Every structure is written in structure tokens, then in C-alpha cells.
């Protein structure tokens, strides 16, 4: 028997017109062969040998060790080991040398075996390929769903919509953790939706989107329908956070519920001003700060991003903060470890702006960011020698560089180099200062493909002196 024939034997029954899931339809039997082990004490040795000779039946989650199909042998505790479909009990030419040796020794007998299969025997992919019309699949099946807590979130293509309830039910059946399956029915971040939330329909389960998610070993609890959350950005969040140095101050302009801010504070001891315009995001951001114990390092805000960029730099400079971390006492030590002090810097080292639909529009708010003396004196208990002129906070007066900006955007250019040039041009127009892909410290990261003609990028660049110190009154 060829590999193709074996594969056909183990496919589920096909019914291309199934719109309502019928689990009973998938009950079937497959004739294969098995090695009856005559003595129970030989089972382990036989299993090891046929595994090594690659004669063992290995498929999905079907165990290869089964009770003997003969009732008399089964009652006596008899077992058999399923063999791959290519092995035929009545054709010794299909037996490997290992099986022949075991049979000649009287250790096993090769017998016919009827394998009973049902809906639970097959994977999600198997079932989907059995019910979707081939012309709709185009060689692919709908697998693009995200899991957030107990919720599976789909964005089905139009050709799969007639099967949406069946697809959702199969997803729920094949994952014990999934309780609710939803399908997005409008684009995120359209003109009517400034908070990047989306309309959805519940296909299976209750309309319960209160979830708990873990991200970079941090806990987040939120209602998935009220805030923006993308579990596919885990690697991208890590990439940015790795650029932060311990103790630096970070300004997260469009923070959401804190996928940048909370891990940065928890694991890097970064000070973060975290802002989001969505009142629900702000509420869950405050919850995440408390849940993860980062209250000393993260300050939440619920402001318009334009205003936040223009006011947060002075707010940081004029409000000194020192965090004291008590040392833990080692098990056998008499004294605890010394306390660790973290003084919040007077300037931000990085700005993150993850609102790809229009974050570049906020770039113009950096013009003249430090063009005026500080509006008031530092707090009375602040013993820092803070200069009145913000210029003196940065190079060449100190070793501190101007902040890096990490701004996210979409681009429809197919060519990567053309996309980089296009993004730099858009940023330059907002800065009123030219930057290019070749400008020092400019980096354009191709984060992920969103759709056929739409990709998601992160543009990183250092704010130029000519921008932040520009006199706007001239």
C-alpha cells in the first residue's frame, strides 16, 4: 500500500454541503492490522522494537496499545499493538524483518484489527477539509484566529461566512480552553471608531468577553470587546522593550491597557508615563498596574495624545520621584540585602506610539517640545539641580541624548525599500524636517503583514535638535 493510499484510509468521511455540524456523520471504521502480544510481560519490549522499526501505528491522538479484539483474550488481559496501515496481516511481504522475527519467535501474531473512528478522532484541519467545498478553500482552510483567554477571535473571509457557525463550533470542540467564538464584522480603527475596538458577532458560546491574558509574564484582565488587544504583537513588544535601559523614563502615548508599559516596568525597572484616550483602556490599565505590582513605576493618564505629548515632557521634568526597593533577606543571612534606589530621570528616553491608523499625525506635536523654559520650579523637596533652560538637559551639556520615537503605521507599498522611503517622507512632512532610511539611528521594522496589500511597520528615529528646540513664535 502506498503512503497516499494509507493517508486516504485515515481521512474522515467527506460531506461538502454540511452547513450544520453533524458529529455522528464522522463515525467510521478502518481495517488495519495489529500485533497480538502473547505474554503481557513482553508488551514493553515489543512496543520498543516496532517503534524502532517504524511499524507502529502513529496518528493523531489514537493510542497504539489496545485491548485484544478477541473477547476471550481481552478478558485475560490480552493486549495488541496497532501497526501502520501498510502492514497487512495476510501478506507477509508487507512485514518488516522485525515483525517477521517477532512472529517467528512466537512473541506476537499479526491479526486483523478494525479501528473505530469518530468526530473526536480527527483534528480541526481534518474536519474542515472534509466539509468545505474545495473551490472555496483554494488549498487553504480558515486557521487565522487568535485566542485571548477563553475567547477565540476570527476575522473570516467572505467565502467562509456561510460556514461560520460550523467553523466556530469545531474550533470550540477541538480546544478545551475555548468557551466563546466570535467573528469581527467591521474594520478596526475606522473613522467611527477612534478606540480601535470592533463590532463582533458571537458564533458559539455566551457573549462573555471578560478575559484574563498573560503577556510577557504579566497578567491583564479586561473586556476584549471594549479595548484593543493583539496577542500577535508579543515579539514586537519584546523587540522594543529590549531597547530600553534600566531606569529610563518611557512615554507610551497610546498605551492601551499596557502591553508595553507593564512589562517594561516590571522587568526593566523603567519609569513609564502610560496614556490612552479610551476610558475603558485607562480603567484596565490601572487594574494591570495594581495586578502586576508596578505602581511605583507606572503613572496612568487618560488624555488626548496630542495634549499628552505637549505636556508630559515638562510634567516629568518638574516632578521628581525616587523609588526604593527593599532588599530581600537571603535564607541564611542575618541581614537583608541593601535597599535599591531608582531616581526617575528628568527626560524621556523613548516615546512609543502604537496607533498605526494615524499615529504619524501626532508627530507634529514634537515640534518645539523643549523650546520654552520650564513653566515652574521643581517641587520644594526636589534637591536636583534642574536647569531652567531645557536645552541644558541634553547633549552637549550632559551625556543625555534626545528621545527616540517608535511610531507605528500601515503602508500599502509592495516593495520594502519603497515602503521605507514612503514612511520616512510621511514622518518628515509632520516633523517639517527631512529624515530618510539612511539617516543615522533611523530604523524601519516590517512588523507583520495585515492583508494582501497592507503591512504593519514601526519607524524608529531620534528626535532632531532642530525639531524639539524650534521657536514656534518666529
Annotated binding residues for S-adenosyl-L-methionine, written as ranges, equal 237, 276-277, 304-305, 354
**What backbone phi and psi angles, to 5 degrees, belong to 327?**
-75, 145
Q: In terms of C-beta distances under 8 Å and separation of at least 24 residues, what long-range contacts does 181-186 make, across chains too?
A: 181/145, 181/151, 181/152, 181/154, 181/205, 182/151, 182/152, 182/153, 182/154, 182/209, 183/154, 183/155, 183/156, 184/153, 184/154, 184/155
Measured between alpha carbons, how far is 226 from 281 in angstroms, rounded to an integer? 8
- Which among 361, 369, 412 is positioned nearest to 254, based on CA atoms? 361
Measured between alpha carbons, how far is 248 from 241 in angstroms, rounded to an integer? 11
Measured between alpha carbons, how far is 246 from 302 in angstroms, rounded to an integer? 26
Count the neighbouring beta carbons within 10 Å of the beta carbon of residue 454.
Answer: 11
- Which among 181, 119, 193, 130 is positioned nearest to 156, based on CA atoms? 181
Strand partners, 141: none
- Which among 292, 275, 401, 276 is positioned nearest to 345, based on CA atoms? 401
- First CA to last CA distance, the chain: 85
Q: Which residue has cell 532642530? A: 466
286: exposed, middle or buried (Cβ count in 10 Å: 0-12, 13-18, 19+): middle
Binding-site residues, please? 237, 276-277, 304-305, 354
Q: Contact at 8 Å (CB) between 25 and 46?
A: no
Q: Contact at 8 Å (CB) between 250 and 297?
A: no
Q: Contact at 8 Å (CB) between 262 and 236?
A: no
Amino acid at each position: 500500500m502506498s503512503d497516499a493510499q494509507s493517508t486516504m484510509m485515515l481521512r474522515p468521511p467527506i460531506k461538502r454541503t454540511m452547513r450544520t455540524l453533524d458529529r455522528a456523520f464522522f463515525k467510521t471504521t478502518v481495517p488495519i492490522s495489529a500485533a497480538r502480544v502473547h505474554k503481557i510481560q513482553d508488551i514493553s519490549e515489543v512496543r520498543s522494537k516496532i517503534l524502532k522499526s517504524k511499524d507502529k501505528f502513529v496518528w493523531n491522538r489514537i493510542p497504539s496499545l489496545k485491548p485484544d479484539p478477541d473477547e476471550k483474550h481481552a478478558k485475560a488481559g490480552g493486549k495488541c499493538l496497532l501497526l501502520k496501515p501498510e502492514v497487512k496481516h495476510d501478506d507477509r511481504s508487507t512485514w518488516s524483518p522485525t515483525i517477521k522475527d517477532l512472529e517467528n519467535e512466537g512473541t506476537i501474531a499479526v491479526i486483523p484489527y478494525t479501528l473505530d473512528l469518530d468526530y473526536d478522532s480527527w483534528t480541526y484541519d481534518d474536519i474542515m477539509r472534509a466539509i468545505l467545498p474545495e473551490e472555496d478553500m483554494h488549498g487553504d482552510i480558515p486557521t487565522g484566529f487568535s485566542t485571548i483567554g477563553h475567547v477565540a477571535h476570527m476575522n473570516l473571509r467572505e467565502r467562509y461566512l456561510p460556514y461560520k457557525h460550523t467553523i466556530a463550533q469545531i474550533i470550540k470542540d477541538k480546544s478545551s480552553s475555548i468557551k466563546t467564538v466570535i467573528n469581527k464584522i467591521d474594520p478596526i480603527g475606522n473613522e467611527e471608531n477612534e478606540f480601535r475596538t470592533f463590532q463582533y458577532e458571537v458564533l458559539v458560546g455566551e457573549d462573555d468577553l471578560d478575559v484574563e491574558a498573560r503577556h510577557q509574564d504579566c497578567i491583564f484582565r479586561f473586556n476584549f470587546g471594549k479595548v484593543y488587544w493583539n496577542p500577535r504583537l508579543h515579539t514586537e513588544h519584546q523587540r522594543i522593550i529590549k531597547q530600553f535601559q534600566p531606569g529610563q523614563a518611557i512615554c507610551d502615548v497610546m498605551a492601551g491597557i499596557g502591553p508595553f508599559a507593564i512589562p517594561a516596568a516590571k522587568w526593566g525597572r523603567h519609569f513609564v508615563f502610560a496614556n490612552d484616550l479610551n476610558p475603558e483602556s485607562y480603567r484596565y490599565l490601572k487594574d494591570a498596574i495594581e495586578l502586576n505590582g508596578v505602581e511605583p513605576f507606572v503613572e496612568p493618564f487618560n488624555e488626548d495624545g496630542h495634549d499628552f505629548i505637549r505636556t508630559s515632557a515638562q510634567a516629568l521634568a518638574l516632578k521628581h520621584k525616587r523609588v526604593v526597593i527593599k532588599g530581600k533577606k537571603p535564607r541564611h543571612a542575618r541581614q537583608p540585602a541593601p535597599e535599591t534606589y531608582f531616581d526617575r530621570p528628568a527626560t524621556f528616553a523613548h516615546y512609543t506610539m502604537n496607533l498605526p491608523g494615524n499615529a504619524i499625525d501626532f508627530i507634529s506635536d514634537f515640534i518645539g517640545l523643549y523650546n520654552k523654559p520650564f513653566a515652574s520650579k521643581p517641587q520644594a523637596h526636589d534637591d536636583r539641580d534642574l536647569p531652567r533652560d531645557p536645552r541644558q538637559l541634553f547633549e552637549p551639556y550632559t551625556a543625555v541624548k534626545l528621545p527616540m520615537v517608535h511610531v507605528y503605521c500601515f503602508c500599502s507599498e509592495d516593495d520594502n525599500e519603497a515602503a521605507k522611503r514612503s514612511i520616512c517622507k510621511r514622518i518628515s512632512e509632520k516633523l517639517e524636517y527631512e529624515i530618510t532610511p539612511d539617516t543615522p539611528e533611523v530604523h524601519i521594522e516590517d512588523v507583520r503583514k495585515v492583508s494582501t496589500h497592507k503591512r504593519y511597520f514601526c519607524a524608529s528615529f531620534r528626535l532632531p535638535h532642530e525639531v524639539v528646540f524650534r521657536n514656534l513664535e518666529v
